[in-house]
Amino acid sequence: MKKTGILNADIAAVVAGMGHLDTITVADAGLPIPDAVLRIDLVVRPNLPRFMDVTSAILEELIVQEAIIAREMVEVSPETYDVLRARLGETPIRLVSHSEFKQLTAQSKAVVRSGEFTPYANVILVAGVAF
């Protein structure tokens, strides 16, 4: 049994298989997930697990060169945005409309669905390189 890092086998496999510019989406409980994209559903009940818990676990293992969020997060859920901004550090954040965000999820290697009930608590992480 693995004892550190991401213990969920599906998430660990996706992260390990990602290359430069591949994307993974961490979603709240309500984001529609395209049928053709791998759905990793973690939701147990409202707010379990939390969006930032899942996002932070992935950020510990994935080199991220850019994050993409819906600009609505900044307006409607500023506390979530502030925590995400702090966790991403110097990583650039690209703001798009929620409609465009939903379209971009179709290109993700996977969408990890959290139990988050905060509106617009979604992020697309764009993989970078270690060199």
Query: Is residue 98 among the annotated active site residues?
Result: no
Domain range for residue 89?
A: 36-127
Mean pLDDT computed over every residue of the chain: 98
Whether 100 is in a domain gets the answer: yes
Is the pLDDT at 33 greater than 90? The verdict is yes
Q: Which of 7, 16, 17, 20 is catalytic?
A: 20
Q: What is the CATH number of the domain that holds 88?
A: 3.40.1650.10
pLDDT band with cut points at 50, 70 and 90 for residue 1: confident
Angle at 16 between CA 95 and CA 66, to 5 degrees: 15
Whether 68 is in a domain gets the answer: yes
* pTM for this prediction: 0.97
Is the pLDDT at 120 greater than 90? The verdict is yes
Whether 25 is in a domain gets the answer: no
